Structures are given as C-alpha cells and as structure tokens.
C-alpha cells in the first residue's frame, strides 16, 4: 500500500530546513558584507575597471564612428585573410549588407566591439592559465573544479556578483561576458599543449632545447589548431552572453533583443536575432577555416 503524507508524520514529508529567520540573518550578513567591501574598496574597483571602460569605448567609437563602407571592406579583408574562401567572404558581405538594410548597422557595430574586446581579454587571460595547467598537474587539478563551476552555472547567475561589485553599465556586462567565455580558451589551450607528441618533445630535448624554447618553438605551434578551436568557442559564447549581459546595461543587438522579448515584438526580435546569427556564422566560419588551414600546415611541416 502506497504511503502518503496524510498518514505519515510531518517530519517524513517535510524536509528539515533551516528556519527562515536564520536564513534572513545569513543573507543580511552576506549582503552587508559585499556592500561594505564595495564601499570600502570602491576606488580600487574604479581603478581596475577604468582601463576596461577606455578600451571598450575606444573600440565602440572606432566601429561606430568609421564609414560603413570602410568597416565593411576591412571586415571582408580580415575574413578572406583568415578563411582564404571566396564563398565565406561573399556570405559575409551579404550578411552585413542585410544587417545594414534592416537599420541595425550601428547596433551590430556595438555588439562587434563588445565581442571583440571580450574575446581579446579572454585570450590574454586564458592562454597563460592554459599553459600553466599544461605544465603542472597540480595547477590543473586546482583550476579544473573552478572551470567546471564556471561552465555549469546558468548565465544569469554570473550577473549577480558582477552587478553587486561593479554596478550597472557596459563594463560590468563585459566582465560577465569574459567570465562566461574564458573557460573554453583555458581548457583547449591546456589540451592542445598536452596532446603534443612526446616523441617530438624528446627530439627537442635531444637538441638541447630549454623549457621555454620547447614551449614557444614546439608545443605552441603544434597546439595552435586546438587553441584556435578555443578561440572559436570563446567568440560563440561571447555572442551568446551578449543578450544576457544587456540586462545590466550592455547595448547593441542584445539590448534590442531583450526589448523585443519584454514587449513581444516578434518582427523586431527576429531581425535582431538574425543579425546575431549572421555575426556568429561569420566568426564561426572564418575561425574554423583558419583553424583547418593551420592544421594542414602543421601536418605538412611535421609530416
């Protein structure tokens, strides 16, 4: 006969929980502690975020203040240089022209600026940490759990500590995007270096290469295709997080998408969604093509 809570003691049906009063007190202590830290070290936080603000604003001004035809030509040149593909270059031109015709060029440039800055910061942070992880099992063991947490947390959760510490604005949104996007860069840099053939490293040792020479002249070149895959994933995750980061003041296509969701504007939301997808495809196809070229070059050089 199936047991029900009607006949069982309440202690078996209601999980024993901490009292509401204790939870309220704990929340108050933690929240007040965070607010106190922010008030006490606000000048330090401002000093840390100021360079990011200048960096991001410079890219935004560069992208939005330049003539559209110049931006498009430079973008097509970069895409062709990376992919060596006429099809991808023509597709990029068509996608960007479609974005412009829908009146979303300026917002797309803001999104491109945020994504570019976030990706550059993620690369600067991720590659050194990945190198350290590849060179030490102990460091890898200590960092991996943090990366697991970072990749498991829902994207909205990233905004809570960022907003509490840094407030509302473009820089807090940028920081949230970087935190969300940096784990693939770290993991794939570590993986790429660890996958380098041991026989190649033994040959480098036989020629008297130092540890740094092996890293920069052997391991990093051979790991470059895997690192490029990490850059690809970082770009995709940055674009995915831009929409969520718009909740804390990041502009561009993400802000428009959030407004479309809030006001149930189907067409407006579809247009901005299309623009985000187009930019994501451009980045994805270009970085993948460049990674394949690096892979082929590596196979030719190293047999």
Domain at 206, CATH number? 1.10.3720.10
Let me know if residue 23 belongs to a domain.
no
In a domain, 110, yes or no: yes
Q: Is residue 268 in some structural domain?
A: yes
51: domain range? 39-302
pLDDT of residue 86: 93
Q: Identify the DSSP state of 88.
A: H
Please state the rounded mean pLDDT for residues 63-75.
Answer: 93
Q: What is the pLDDT confidence band of residue 93, given thresholds at 50, 70 and 90?
A: very high
**140 has a pLDDT exceeding 80:** yes
- Rounded Cα distance, 230 and 28, in Å: 40
Distance CA 74, CA 80 (A): 10
Report, as an integer, the average pLDDT of 137-163.
86
167, two tokens = 């407030």
Residue linked to tokens 């623009």: 275
C-alpha atoms less than 13 angstroms from C-alpha of 216 in its C-beta half-sphere? 4
Asked if residues 224 and 165 have their Cβ atoms less than 8 Å apart, the reply is no
pLDDT tens figures, 97-129: 999 999 999 999 999 999 999 999 999 999 999
Q: How many domains does the chain have?
A: 1
- Distance, CA of 48 to CA of 46 (rounded, Å): 5
Q: Which two tokens stand for residue 201?
A: 């490293």
Whether residue 12 is contained in a domain is answered as no
Over residues 288-301, the mean pLDDT reads: 72
Residue 25 clears pLDDT 50, i.e. is over it = yes
Mean pLDDT, the chain, rounded, equals: 86
Lowest-confidence pick of 175-184, 240-249, 264-273: 240-249
**Whole-number pLDDT of residue 79:** 93
Q: What integer pLDDT is reported at residue 3 of this predicted model?
A: 56
Q: How confident is the model at residue 1 (pLDDT cuts 50, 70, 90)?
A: very low
CB distance 55 to 252 below 8 Å: no
Cα(116)–Cα(122) distance, rounded to whole angstroms?
A: 10
* 191: nearest Cα among 146, 239, 240, 126: 126
170-194 and 220-245 helices, crossing angle to 10°: 150
Q: Is residue 16 part of a domain?
A: no
Q: Longest Cα pair distance anywhere in the chain, in angstroms?
A: 79
Residue 204 included in any domain: yes
User: What is the rounded distance in angstroms from the CA atom of residue 65 to the CA atom of residue 43?
Assistant: 31
Q: What are phi and psi of 3, to 5 degrees?
A: -80, 140
Angle at the Cα of 271 (from 268 to 272), degrees rounded to 5? 90
pLDDT at 303 over 60: no
pTM here is 0.85
Instruction: Give the closest residue to 286 by CA, choosing from 85, 73, 70.
Output: 85
The whole-angstrom distance between residue 254's C-alpha and the CA centroid of its chain comes to 15
Q: Is residue 11 included in any domain, yes or no?
A: no
The share of the chain scoring above pLDDT 90, in percent, equals 29
- Alpha-carbon torsion 190, 195, 198, 203, what sign? negative
CA distances for 27 relative to 21, 36, 245, angstroms: 10, 14, 25
Please, what's the b/e burial string for 125-153 (b: 16 or more CB within 10 A of its CB; e: otherwise)?
ebbebbbebbeeeeebeebeeebeeeeee
Residues 273 and 171: beta-carbon distance below 8 Å: no
Average pLDDT for 17-36: 83
Give the whole-angstrom CA distance, residue 202 versus residue 206.
Answer: 6
Number of H helices, E strands in the chain: 14, 0
296 inside domain: yes
Residue 83's pLDDT is 87
């Amino acid at each position: 006969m199936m047991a029900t809570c009607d006949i069982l003691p309440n202690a078996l049906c209601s999980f024993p929980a901490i009292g509401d009063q204790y939870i309220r007190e704990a929340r108050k202590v933690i929240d007040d502690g965070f607010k106190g830290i922010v008030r006490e070290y606000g000048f330090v936080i401002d000093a840390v975020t100021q360079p990011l603000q200048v960096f991001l604003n410079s890219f935004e001004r560069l992208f939005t203040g330049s003539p559209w035809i110049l931006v498009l030509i430079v973008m097509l040149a970069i895409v062709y240089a990376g992919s060596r593909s006429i099809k991808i270059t023509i597709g990029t031109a068509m996608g960007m022209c479609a974005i412009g015709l829908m009146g979303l060029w300026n917002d797309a440039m803001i999104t491109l600026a945020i994504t570019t800055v976030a990706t550059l910061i993620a690369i600067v942070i991720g590659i050194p940490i990945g190198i350290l992880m590849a060179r030490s099992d102990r460091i890898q063991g200590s960092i991996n759990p943090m990366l697991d947490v970072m990749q498991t947390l829902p994207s909205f959760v990233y905004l809570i500590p960022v907003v509490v510490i840094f407030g509302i604005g473009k820089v807090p949104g940028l920081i949230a995007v970087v935190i969300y996007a940096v784990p693939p860069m770290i993991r794939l840099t570590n993986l790429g270096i660890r996958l380098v053939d041991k026989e190649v490293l033994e040959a480098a040792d036989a020629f008297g290469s130092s540890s740094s020479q092996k890293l920069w002249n052997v391991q990093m070149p051979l790991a470059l295709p895997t690192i490029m895959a990490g850059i690809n994933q970082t770009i995709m995750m940055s674009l995915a997080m831009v929409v969520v980061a718009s909740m804390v003041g990041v502009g561009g296509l993400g802000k428009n998408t959030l407004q479309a969701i809030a006001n149930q504007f189907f067409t407006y939301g579809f247009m901005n969604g299309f623009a985000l997808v187009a930019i994501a495809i451009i980045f994805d196809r270009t970085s993948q093509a460049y990674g394949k070229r690096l892979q082929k070059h590596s196979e030719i050089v190293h047999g």
